[in-house]
Amino acid sequence: MNIEKKILRPGDGQHFPLRGQTITIHYTGAFTNKTVFDSSRHRNQVYRFRLGLDQTIKAFDIFYQMSLREHIVIKVPWQLAYGELGLPNVVPPKTDVMFDLELLKID
């Protein structure tokens, strides 16, 4: 059960978020056929959360490995995404997904 990662733009290589820090990101979630199911970019609104405190899906632990301003695409197995239940009315149960992720700020 691995996450596949492709770097679109490297980060600064110096500033990496730590557990409990608040990070600001842009994301686009899509099914493996590239149909988008959610996007902060489409809403023109960044997403902020505290890293490592179970506020997001497990796959977002990838941010520990990202440096400031890094932009990646990941393919996520369902076990690290929305699991057996899925996300009601959005992501079906046991569905692999993809995310376009950009780390904008670390607080």
pLDDT grade for 75, boundaries at 50, 70 and 90: very high
31, 38, 61, 106: the catalytic one is: 38
What local confidence, expressed as pLDDT, does residue 55 receive? Answer: 93
Is the pLDDT reported for residue 52 higher than 90?
A: yes
In the residue annotation, 38 being an active-site residue is answered as: yes
Burial of 91 (0-12, 13-18, 19+ CB in 10 A): buried
In the residue annotation, 27 being an active-site residue is answered as: yes
16, 57, 61, 106: the catalytic one is: 57
Q: Which alpha helices (H) appear in 18-80, and where do they start and end?
A: 40-43
Q: Where are the domains of the chain?
A: 4-106
Fold observed for domain 4-106: Chitinase A; domain 3 (3.10.50)
% of the chain beyond a pLDDT of 90: 99
47, 60, 63, 82: the catalytic one is: 82
Is the pLDDT reported for residue 1 higher than 90?
A: no
What local confidence, expressed as pLDDT, does residue 95 receive? Answer: 98
In the residue annotation, 64 being an active-site residue is answered as: no
3, 16, 27, 49: the catalytic one is: 27
Query: What distance in Å separates the CA atoms of residue 25 and residue 23, rounded to the nearest whole number?
Result: 6
